[in-house]
């Protein structure tokens, strides 16, 4: 699944470690979500989106998984 986490992080000048700590997860999980290896659960997706002040659909691209 594609996400905009990396772009949002760069725009907010945040490291993976800082984002991970803010949303209650680990740096490795953020890395895996960013490169599309791991699909975040709904609560984690909500926390990440909420942190950036966006909706889940604005951060996560569901178009591939719908096909």
Partner 1 sequence: MLNFREKLKKRRWLIRISCVIVLLVIINHYFGNFLSFPTPKEPHISDFQMGLLMGIELCLIFLSFKYRKAINDENELQDFYNSEHDERKNLIRQKAGYPVIWAASIVILIAAIIAGYYNVTVFYSLAAVAVIQIFFAAFLKFVYSKKY
* C-beta of 6 vs 31, nearer to partner 1: 31
Residues 6+ apart with CB under 8 A from 41: none
Give residues 5-64 in contact with partner 1 (rule: CB under 8 A).
Answer: 20-21, 24-26, 28-29, 32, 37-38, 40-41, 44
Alpha helices per DSSP H over 1-67: 5-11, 16-23, 27-34, 42-51, 56-59, 63-66
Residue 65 in the binding site for partner 1 (CB under 8 A): no
Binding residues for partner 1 (CB under 8 A): 20-21, 24-26, 28-29, 32, 37-38, 40-41, 44
């Amino acid at each position: 699944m594609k996400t905009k986490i990396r772009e949002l992080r760069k725009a907010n000048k945040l490291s993976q470690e800082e984002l991970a700590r803010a949303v209650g997860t680990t740096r490795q999980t953020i890395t895996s979500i960013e490169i599309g290896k791991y699909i975040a659960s709904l609560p984690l997706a909500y926390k990440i989106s909420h942190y950036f002040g966006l909706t889940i659909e604005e951060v996560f691209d569901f178009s591939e998984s719908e096909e």
